């Protein structure tokens, strides 16, 4: 399967960037949180993001015409995302350290993470509906499923933290 539509190639880049930023965000949260339960979940989410990135790189990068791994040059999509009104905390290069200075409690961090994961699910579901190819729909549905699993984990942790 080769992606011939720009939107599908951009979605692969965006998915990779979501995973890169998510991994950094959850890794730093795991280091900083004092809650043992939250630390365990953040570590798992960070590892999941890393696994998801490897899946995206291994399964979709070649098909989209990219190299085998994420490079800075391939992840220059902020202008595109802004132009379509899809700016999101995990879909552009962000300063995770600065973000964590503002998100100073476990509950705030979980709330930010949950909102971002939900946005990612909606984004990929929408792309699946609009995709013109079965390959594109399949890719978007798989990416939405990955993000949906994070929504469930974070919701569970928020319930425990309340």
DSSP string across 115-143 = HHHHHHHHHHHHHHHH-SSHHHHHHHHHH
CATH number at residue 92: 1.20.1260.10
* Domain-embedded: residue 80: yes
C-beta of residue 49 within 8 angstroms of C-beta of residue 19: yes
Q: What is the number of domains present in the chain?
A: 1
Query: Does residue 11 belong to any structural domain of this protein?
Result: yes
Confidence (pTM)? 0.69
Q: Does residue 1 belong to any structural domain of this protein? A: no
Structure tokens at 101: 């200075």
Residue-wise pLDDT for 89-130, tens only, equals 455 555 666 666 777 788 888 888 888 888 888 888 987 887
Q: Print the domain residue range for 72.
A: 6-161
């Amino acid at each position: 399967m080769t992606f011939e539509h720009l939107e599908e190639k951009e979605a692969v880049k965006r998915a990779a960037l979501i995973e890169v930023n998510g991994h950094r965000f959850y890794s730093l949260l795991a280091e900083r949180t004092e809650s043992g339960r939250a630390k365990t979940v953040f570590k798992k989410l960070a590892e999941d993001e890393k696994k998801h990135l490897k899946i995206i790189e291994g399964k979709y990068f070649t098909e989209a015409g990219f190299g085998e791994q994420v490079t800075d040059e391939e992840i220059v999509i902020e202008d595109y995302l802004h132009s379509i009104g899809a700016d999101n905390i995990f879909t552009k290069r962000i300063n995770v350290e600065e973000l964590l200075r503002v998100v100073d409690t476990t509950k705030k961090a979980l709330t930010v993470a949950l909102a971002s994961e939900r946005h990612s699910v909606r984004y990929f579901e929408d792309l699946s509906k609009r995709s013109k190819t079965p390959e594109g729909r399949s890719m978007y549905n798989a990416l939405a499923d990955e993000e949906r699993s994070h929504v469930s984990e974070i919701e569970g942790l928020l319930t425990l933290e309340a």
